Amino acid sequence: MISRRQALIAGGAATAVVGGGAVAIGAANRETPEPPAPPSTDGKGHTVWRNWSGIQHSYPAQRSAPKDEAELSALLKSGSAPVRVTGSGHSFTGLCTTDGTLVSLDAMSGVVGWEGDEATVWAGTRLGALGPALAAKGRAMANLPDINKQSLGGALGTATHGTGSKLKAIHGDVTALTLVTAGGAVLDCDAKTRPELFSAARVSMGALGIISRARLTTTANRRLRRRVWLQPFEEALAQAEERWTAHRNFEFYAVPFTGIAVNITHDETDEPATERPPSQDDAFLDALKGLRNLLGFSTGLRKAAAKALLGGTKPETAVDEGWKLLSTERPVRFNEMEYHLPHETQLAALKEVVEAIETHRPDVFFPIEVRRIAPDDAWLSPFQGELRGSVAVHAYYRDDYQFFFELIEPIFRRHGGRPHWGKLHSLKGADLAALYPRWSDFLEIRRELDPEARLLNPYLKTLFAL
């Protein structure tokens, strides 16, 4: 595949040179340099913390990895503020940055126990480790996001989700949780015990306290049949609603400057497990980046080369347990903006996004992810109250991403979108209050639990208007 890709790209480059584009190709072919890294320590000798993509960093004065709720309680009472908790650092916003205390829950990991088919799980458990732990009992999470590195607590705090019009985000399957507050109180809550706190805390970005454990509804650990195939973008757009209805999980990727969409379905099956073919994700991204570098000066040539390069790609199928297929490795770093839109406006917004990128940003090559998520009732859930669809725009970690705010975010906002809490956005407290019916109720509980705002870093203060 690599040799075929290289040959096709080389052929496309030669064609462009003949057409008089040699100078443009030479300019476009220069790889974007590695972004500068912050100093490893600050003037006080504190070691740098950075998020996964590298755009957020800070120098915590104190770092701690408590082993249980008693240690976590003591830390929250005594640690220097702001006290923030980090999982895998997959959020792109400044949620975890602090010059005070940075908490890791890595030592609080694993399944605590079972109540029937409900599992109580430490919040530091990584999703990639939770899958096999549940499978050992014949159980599984109903749905998973597309990256398996997040901690459970981080996934709940930011309303992390998978795809499926009848499947909720991860916090939607939480039936109880334990929250350790800024004052050190250890509070249990569910739909009957402290129900208001339960509604607020399931998605709270660490602003009410640190979730130490959660009880999750699980499902039978069924095998899924995964199918991945390419299709013209307009055809995929026309058939998307039907596919969200027909399949357990459906999502697709719109690939700018190609006219192509990548469709992915997962459906329950009794077929025997099959060996999954090697992932083509990295090779696919390399091909798209190569087309951008060589033919970014001409949308027409770039689309023609993409059609020649990718047109013969055969569908990929695999059968295995769901936790092995729904979440995958994502080694290529990027930055991301994702908004959750009313399902009636989702596809119209997507078309505008693709048109805007192809008109104004020839440097973009990352696919745009399109998913659908069932409603739930958590107060700050982006899916609170209604079925919503997500559109996620990505930029290679070396490339400029300011166009998210200037070009893409206005489209999302015009279509009634709510931002993903872990992805880049520019909204502040007043903007968010207009999007969430229980926003003021959340603020009231936050003030009660943390009157001194020990849990709020500068970024969170912009959200909660302090």
Neighbours of 282 (CB within 10 A): 13
**Helix, strand or coil, per DSSP, at residue 461:** helix
- 110-130 mean pLDDT: 97
Q: How many residues are given for the chain?
A: 466
DSSP 314: P
φ and ψ at 382, to 5 degrees?
A: -60, -15
Cis amide linkage into residue 36, ω under 30° from 0? no
Q: Which amino acid is at 169?
A: A
Rounded to whole angstroms, the Cα distance separating 118 from 228 reads 32
Rounded to whole angstroms, the Cα distance separating 124 from 341 reads 30
User: Measured in whole angstroms, how far is the alpha carbon of residue 149 from the centre of its chain?
Assistant: 11
pLDDT over 70, % of the chain: 93
| pLDDT per position as a tens digit, 136-149 | 999 999 999 988 89
| pLDDT per position as a tens digit, 317-367 | 999 999 999 988 788 999 999 999 999 999 999 999 999 999 999 999 999
Q: What is the pLDDT of residue 10?
A: 37
User: Would you call 278 exposed, middle or buried from its count of C-beta atoms within 10 A (0-12, 13-18, 19+)?
Assistant: exposed
Q: Which amino acid is at 275?
A: E
> What CATH class is the domain 223-419?
alpha beta
User: Measured in whole angstroms, how far is the alpha carbon of residue 277 from the centre of its chain?
Assistant: 24
Q: What is the pTM of this model?
A: 0.93
CB 160 within 8 A of CB 167: no
Residue 21 has pLDDT above 80, yes or no: no
Report which of residues 44 and 276 the model is more confident about.
Answer: 44
**Token pair of 201, please?**
């805390």
